[in-house]
Chains A and B, each alone.
Chain A
Amino acid sequence: MHRTGELSGQFQTLEQQKESATLGMWIFLSTEILFFGGMFLTYTINRHSYPEIFANASRSLDLRLGGFNTVVLIGSSLTMAMSVWAAQVGKKKLITTFLILTLVLGCVFLGVKAIEYHAKYVEHHIPGASFDINYCINNPAPCGLSGMDLEKETKEVEDSKKHEGGSQALNAHAQLYFSLYFAMTGLHALHMIIGAGLLVWLIKQSIAGRFTPQYNTPVENVGLYWHFVDIVWIYLFPLLYLIDRH
């Protein structure tokens, strides 16, 4: 059967068999481009409607954590590509090493995301009944605001309130940004969790010595999935964290 790298009846050559598996993964990724694309489209329309609010809300995200996560995730793409290379050159132990490294980096990313989500919870930036764009001005300590930053933030919120026509309207429109933030990074995180599961599956097989230069298609294809998730983040990072940092 194809799972051990033998030629299945419907293919003429092993190369064709491998290429169709990879092509299948790419077709799936095409659907994923549209899946995330829908949310990027929604983001575009809403940001165009409320540019100031999006800029202000974006500044409430911790850029250091976002930047760190970007480095971690791109690093995990490097280790994933290296595990494919290790399989191609027959270095079986290295395949496992790089797969584990990829998994660890993925988990670091998710851990940092959890910290960021918690910060949003503390600052009353989770959309819903408890959402309050004024919270951080009235309670600067838990939000980590003080001095110049607090003054700047207070001025921005007051300006936005005037522009929007009141606190209620401001809260309603600010929630658009945060709803998109949680929906997009949440969907992305869900994809990472699925990717982590796939990596565990690969690690088990690589420890059992399953992957060889002749058969490493699962590593290659999980790699394609992982790189795609990385690309989504490559777009999410500037659009969510870097709207206006000057």
Chain B
Amino acid sequence: MSEHIVSPKLYLLIFLTLMVLTGTTVYAATVDLNQYYAGLNVIVALVIASCKAILVILFFMHAYYSPKRTQLIIIAGFFWLAIMLSLTLGDYGSRSWDVH
């Protein structure tokens, strides 16, 4: 098999990184970042969550070691999500009347 066997050491390193990121996101929630830039708290939270997700996808789910066609399907899934989010939020965002 040409499959690449990921070492337990790397798994452990990724796990510890995820723990650090979890702690960071909890800490960031206790700080008022919105005073510096509107919505900064949620942006930071989503960036940290996305970093965690990317680490899980690349290494726990072996995407880093997967063939290109698999990587394409992974990207496609998020691309479709992006279409749904951008078009729907674009609809709501471009309403000049009360959105709720």
Where the two chains meet, the residues of A that have a C-beta atom closer than 8 Å to any C-beta of B are 14-15, 18-19, 22-23, 26-27, 29-31, 33-34, 37-38, 40-41, 44-45, 48-50, 63, 67, 70-71, 74-75, 77-78, 80-82, 85, 88-89, 213-214, 220, 223-224, 227-228, 230-231, 234-235, 237-239, 242-246
The CA-CA distance from A27 to B94 in the complex, in Å, is 33
Chain B residues bordering chain A, tally (CB within 8 A): 53
A224 shortest CB reach to chain B, Å: 6
Asked if residues B15 and A15 are in contact (CB atoms below 8 Å), the reply is: no
Asked if residues A23 and B73 are in contact (CB atoms below 8 Å), the reply is: yes
The CA-CA distance from A14 to B59 in the complex, in Å, is 23
Closest to B85 in A: A41
Where the two chains meet, the residues of B that have a C-beta atom closer than 8 Å to any C-beta of A are 1-3, 5-8, 11-12, 14-15, 18-19, 22, 25-26, 28-32, 41-42, 45-46, 48-49, 52-53, 56-57, 59-62, 66-67, 69-70, 73-74, 76-78, 80-81, 84-85, 88-89, 92, 99-100
Given known contacts A18-B1, A242-B26, A245-B30, A34 and B80 CB-to-CB distance under 8 angstroms: yes
Q: Which residues of A contact B56 (CB under 8 A)?
A: 77, 227, 230-231, 234
Please name 11 pairs of A and B residues whose Cβ atoms are closer than 8 Å in the assembled complex, sorted by A.
A19-B70, A38-B84, A41-B88, A74-B18, A81-B11, A214-B1, A234-B49, A234-B56, A242-B25, A242-B45, A243-B41
